């Protein structure tokens, strides 16, 4: 269907096209190198990522979910958390956030979103705390920073660890200039192909200033071993592939331009969308939002979506079912969570990537404004 749309939601081939020569060169270099697991390309990208995020350490992982799982597994191995401990999570997020917690035997405690940012309402965290709360897993959803001085003060007061799910917000900055990935004790990145920095396959990473945590994450993702045939943890296999690492190194210099382009599209949408049936996302041009998605809210979502498809505009829904309403989560995440459910019923994402031009965005805004309701 999206192949025939004039304004596809996301054409990854087109989005990667401008950087294809560098990407192909990087891939060939790895194919010819003789290093297919680990090696210099992976180490090089890890150093670049740490420098970019502003952390001491970066450890490549197989994907973003594993990056999160490995952070929590490492905390358990280091004796900082125990199975059964509670982790504050947003009720409005991608399900991977929650799966990372439950997979480690930890208990996700959902906190509802603010309807303007769609991020976790940090003023509701305190009332969700119990004596077993150990961490706040904050998600910078859709590319918007979800962290502030009050969250940090609360975490300090209650000795909670802040972990960032930074899958969607690479490059965003908190008000003090620090980038996401450097705000909490540790952060998980995803380089899933659709993310603002996307690989050409699965890839992820953990950033942290905590040397013990970095080392435990590295060991756990490598069969629990730092030294060959010497296994200190019951590990798994989740490493950053050098082919993906080399591609990511080739694409990293383009990330600022990618995020700037997304910001330019968001500015067009902010200026030109004026439908009375639609609430636009809270606008920010201060760098604390890298516009991973541009998410509209409307109580007539399904009708708007069909209308846009008919008029050649591809859309997506992030996400149509709140995590606690997924069949696998029955009895694991407790509702009622009416705001998460309302968000799931009303969100609609419109094109925002380097494959969409500024003039496309103007045309898309006009089509949205012609929606009859």
Ligand X SMILES: *Cc1c(COP(=O)(O)O)cnc(C)c1O
Residues lying near ligand X in the complex (CB under 6 A) are found at 63-65, 93-94, 96-97, 139, 165, 167-168, 190, 192, 202, 204
Nearer to ligand X, 197 or 363 (CB): 197
Q: Supply the minimum distance, in Å, between the C-beta of residue 5 and ligand X.
A: 23
**Which H or E element spans position 59?**
strand 57-61
Nearest approach, Cβ of residue 199 and ligand X (Å): 9
Rounded CA gap, 119 and 94, in Å?
Answer: 12
Closer to ligand X by Cβ: residue 97 or 133: 97
The contacts of residue 122 (CB under 8 Å, 6+ apart) are 146, 148, 150, 151, 154
Nearer to ligand X, 202 or 288 (CB): 202
Least distance (Å) between residue 197 CB and ligand X: 11
- What DSSP element (H or E) covers 48? helix 40-53
Report which DSSP code applies to 344: H
**How many whole angstroms separate alpha carbon 152 and alpha carbon 167?**
20
Give least dist CB 311 to ligand X, A: 28
Smallest gap, in angstroms, from Cβ of residue 32 to ligand X? Answer: 27
* Shortest CB 281 distance to ligand X, Å: 16
The span from the first CA to the last CA of the chain, in angstroms, equals 24
Q: Which is nearer to ligand X, 69 or 218 (by Cβ)?
A: 69
Name the residue whose CB lies closest to ligand X: 64
Closest to 97 in 3D by CA, of 209, 188, 183, 208? 188
208 closest CA partner among 173, 182, 180: 182
For ligand X, give the closer residue by CB, 93 or 122.
93
Distance of CA 60 to the CA centre of its chain: 15
Give the nearer residue to ligand X in terms of CB position, either 122 or 304: 122
């Amino acid at each position: 269907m999206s192949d025939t749309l004039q304004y596809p939601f996301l054409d990854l081939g087109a989005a990667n096209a401008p950087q294809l020569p560098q990407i192909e060169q990087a891939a060939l270099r790895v194919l010819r190198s003789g290093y297919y697991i680990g090696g210099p390309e992976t180490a090089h990208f890890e150093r670049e990522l740490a420098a970019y995020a502003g952390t001491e350490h970066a450890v490549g992982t197989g994907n973003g979910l594993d990056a999160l799982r490995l952070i929590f597994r490492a905390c358990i191995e280091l004796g900082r958390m125990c199975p059964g401990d509670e982790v504050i999570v947003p009720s409005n997020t991608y399900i991977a956030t929650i799966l990372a917690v439950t997979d480690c035997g930890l208990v996700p405690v959902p906190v509802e979103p603010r309807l303007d940012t769609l991020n976790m309402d940090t003023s509701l965290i305190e009332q969700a705390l119990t004596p077993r709360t150990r961490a706040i897993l904050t998600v910078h959803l859709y590319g918007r920073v979800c962290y502030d001085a009050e969250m940090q003060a609360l975490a300090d007061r209650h000795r909670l660890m802040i972990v960032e799910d930074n899958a969607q917000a690479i490059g965003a900055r908190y008000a003090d200039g620090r980038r996401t990935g450097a705000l909490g004790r540790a952060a998980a990145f995803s380089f899933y192909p659709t993310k603002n920095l996307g690989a050409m396959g699965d890839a992820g990473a953990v950033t942290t200033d905590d040397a013990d945590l970095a080392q435990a994450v590295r060991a756990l993702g490598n069969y629990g071993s730092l030294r060959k045939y010497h296994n200190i943890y019951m590990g798994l296999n989740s490493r950053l592939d050098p082919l993906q690492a080399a591609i990511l190194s080739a694409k990293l210099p383009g990330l600022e331009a990618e995020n700037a382009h997304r910001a330019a599209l968001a500015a067009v949408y902010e200026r030109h969308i004026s439908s009375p049936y639609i609430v636009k996302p809270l606008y920010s041009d201060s760098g604390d939002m890298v516009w991973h998605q541009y998410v509209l809210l409307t109580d007539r979502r399904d009708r708007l979506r069909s209308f846009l498809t008919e008029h050649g505009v591809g859309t997506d829904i992030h996400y149509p079912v709140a995590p606690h309403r997924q069949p696998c989560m029955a009895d694991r995440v407790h509702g009622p969570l009416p705001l998460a459910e309302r968000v799931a019923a009303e969100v609609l994402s419109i094109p925002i990537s380097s494959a969409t031009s500024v003039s496309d965005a103007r045309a898309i805004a006009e089509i949205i404004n012609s929606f009859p309701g």
